[in-house]
Amino acid sequence: MKLLILGGTKFLGLHLLAAAVARKHEVCLFNRGNHPSPPLPQVETIHGDRNADLSKLKGRRWDAVIDTCGLVPRAVKASAQFLSGSVGTYVFISSQSVYADLSLPGVDEDAEVKTLTTEELERANEIDSSGQSSAASYGQMYGGLKALCEQAAEEAMPDRVLNIRPGLIVGPYDYTDRFTYWVTRLSKGGEVLAPGRPEYHVQFIDARDLSEWTIKMLEGDKTGLYNANGEARKLTMKNLLDQCQAVSESEASLTWAPEAFLLRHNVAPWSEMPLWLPDEVAPHLKGFMFVDCSKAVNAGLEFRPLTETIRDTLSWYKANRVGEPFNAGISSDKEQELLNKLRTEP
């Protein structure tokens, strides 16, 4: 196949590129050139802004386009409309954040999605036009924007869109550090502050599993909506941290802090304690780690061993990130302070 990837130089885009090349597909990247293009001579790169330079793609044809970076509906609509006569399938990488209600486990593709008010959409367009936009900059609008992007693509290319809704994506090249923090923290050894209940379930997907499955779906000419995440109820926080310790062969030990203790000491869920979403703080997200991905599994989504994800993430970190500040995770000083308080407070 001939594939066009919008983006392709960061995290998931890099893994999609690698999966496509590994399966002998011809790939062209279209991006602004803000990040180095992979040094692959067989991969063509066209530099341009999707909001202003789509004409650079005129006269070309591809079997499919993968949109890794669509955040604003008008941009996705413009891309899909422009490419509708040039590609067979439009793949939009969306998010499970599109769902209007994640308070209960088992949300599937038929569940209601979020929407935005006119005022919110106008605000999102202002952020996009500022040139400083990122997923984080849209805040609580993010899920609604992704849902509207899905709809925009489908309206432009009816029945030719593959909308993929991942949950938390992890693995090498992930600079959010929400998974990388735990991998590296356990590798350092010592007493590790762990959040809440050991049996708390977590759900995420290795970017390589997501990428390989996405390319296979294109090879099978598949379209439609798919949740794409790890299997629900398969992994607990303790399982994860134990395996992080085992892979690194460190002498780390876990000390579990009650949720009430962490909240009392203003430990921020998800950011300072990655993967932790206490019910008291986020009752609307009780089902976030239990999204139903059986449709994707039945369509061939497979998962590599967790130990492989941990090992490769740790290797990537050691080769590329040592000494850099983390974007998630608690500081070592605050961690030690809290561990001391756990032993002294009644």
Which CATH number does the domain housing residue 114 bear?
3.40.50.720
* pLDDT for residue 131: 67
* pLDDT for residue 334: 98
d(CA 141, CA 60): 34
With vertex at residue 169, the alpha carbon angle to CA 120 and CA 65, rounded to the nearest 5 degrees, is 75
Give residue for tokens 């294109």.
218
Range of the domain at 199: 174-204+232-289+307-346
Considering the domain architecture, whether residues 26 and 63 belong to the same structural domain is answered as: yes
d(CA 94, CA 214): 12
Whether residue 121 is contained in a domain is answered as yes
Is residue 122 scored above 70 in pLDDT?
A: yes
Cβ contact 216:300 at 8 Å: yes
Cβ contact 64:219 at 8 Å: no
Considering the domain architecture, whether residues 37 and 18 belong to the same structural domain is answered as: yes
Give buried/exposed letters for 240-276 (b at 16+ CB in 10 A, else e).
Answer: bbebbbebbebebeeebbebebbbeeebebbbbbbbb
Strand order in the sheet with 87-93: 44-47, 26-31, 2-6, 62-67, 87-93, 161-166, 224-228
The C-alpha torsion from 42 through 48 and 49 to 51, rounded to 10°, is -100
Whether residue 152 is contained in a domain is answered as yes
Considering the domain architecture, whether residues 84 and 103 belong to the same structural domain is answered as: yes
Q: Which amino acid appears at position 313 of this protein? A: T
Q: How many CA atoms lie within 13 A of 187 on its CB side?
A: 17
Considering the domain architecture, whether residues 319 and 262 belong to the same structural domain is answered as: yes
Considering the domain architecture, whether residues 63 and 87 belong to the same structural domain is answered as: yes
Taking residues 218-239, report their average pLDDT: 97
Query: Whole-prediction pTM value?
Result: 0.96
Residue % of the chain over a pLDDT of 70: 99
Whether residue 98 is contained in a domain is answered as yes
Is residue 275 scored above 90 in pLDDT?
A: yes
Name the pLDDT band for 118 (thresholds 50, 70, 90): very high
CATH code of 190's domain: 3.90.25
Whether residue 223 is contained in a domain is answered as no
Considering the domain architecture, whether residues 269 and 128 belong to the same structural domain is answered as: no
Cβ contact 88:63 at 8 Å: yes
- Dihedral sign (CA 271, 276, 279, 282): positive
Is residue 119 scored above 90 in pLDDT?
A: yes
Taking residues 91-109, report their average pLDDT: 97
Name the pLDDT band for 132 (thresholds 50, 70, 90): low
Give residue for tokens 């960061």.
10
d(CA 337, CA 311): 29
Whether residue 61 is contained in a domain is answered as yes
Round the average pLDDT of the chain to a whole number and report it: 95
Q: Say which DSSP state 327 is in.
A: S
- Residue 278 φ/ψ, nearest 5 degrees: -65, 140
Considering the domain architecture, whether residues 334 and 188 belong to the same structural domain is answered as: yes
Whether residue 102 is contained in a domain is answered as yes
Could you report the per-residue pLDDT of 280-318, keeping only the tens digit for each? 999 999 999 999 999 999 999 999 999 999 999 999 999
Whether residue 224 is contained in a domain is answered as no
What is the tally of structural domains in the chain?
2
Q: What token pair was written down for 145?
A: 């924007």
Considering the domain architecture, whether residues 122 and 197 belong to the same structural domain is answered as: no
Q: Say which DSSP state 133 is in.
A: -
